[in-house]
Structure 1
Amino acid sequence: MNLEQLVLRAKRGDDEAFFQAICLQKEKLYKVAFAFLRNENDALEAIQEATCRSYLKLSRLEQTAFFGTWLTRILIHVCIDEQKRQKRLLLDPQKLAQEQKREADLHDRTVERVYIEEALSRLTPTYRQVIILKYFEDRTIREIAVGLGQPEGTIKTWLHKALGALRKDLGKGW
């Protein structure tokens, strides 16, 4: 079935035909959206918004042969709206400062995580396992002891030694 036939069926209320028509256009839509927004997530959101708008206004499409052009035009309007919204955010000094702080915080957390993961990889497998169970999976000493088949005192000792090794590896600032 060609695109024009799918659009005709979609105009008559066939949601599956509308979905298929959109799928036939998805690569072209992505290229247009990405060219405007230069960000994959923003491009995908714009496509989703354009799809929603086109679904709601499908009855207004007069010539089914121009479905692709019509849909692209809707997508371009969505992209322009998004560019305006992003520009307003960038022009607002308070929002810009918040965005820069958020990005700096994210960068700092990423760097810290890399250091911690590297330090964890240098621990013995037993110590690494105890740290992961306690701090990443939020298990109690008792749950760890039962899971590993060890006495609670042993788990406490391993945890103490593992934390000491991490502190030494990462430096006293941690």
Structure 2
Amino acid sequence: MKNMTKVMMAATLAAGTLAAGCQTTPGVTAPVAQTLTNDALQAHNWQLVDATRTNGAKVTQLFFDPAKPLTLNFMNVNGNNRVTFMNTCNNMGAEYKIVNKNVQFNNVLSTMMACPEPQASFDTATMATVQGKYSLSKSANNVPMLTITNASQVANFKAVSK
């Protein structure tokens, strides 16, 4: 009888564990896609939160100084849409436009300082990261997110106040 009680308790525990694992968590939702517009890009600065290569490895060159993450600042200057790449060693930026729901750069400009490592690698990784397919969404916490995807990596940026 004791063995039967143990078996029934184990079965009850297992069933309860399986049922709990199949339940959905209230309030947790998938990111919601947003329309990519100049107003949406220019409403915030975009701070890098993670970047991974297609093999799953972190793009470590972008995270050498956690106090100064790569930040994108989209703005309108005298009627021209511009973006600057903040916290880089060289001053870098470009004109941009949205074409077919994607960001395209024109006239990328950069100072040409001889930056020491790891700043030089940060600048190189920045230019590789900002080239790709742009998409906007809102996280489960309703925080705007910008994702840039290209053939070698995926980078996620969160909206921060300007």
**TM-score normalized by the length of structure 2:** 0.23
Higher strand share: 2
Report which structure shows greater RCO (CA 8 Å, sep ≥6): 2
Higher helix share: 1
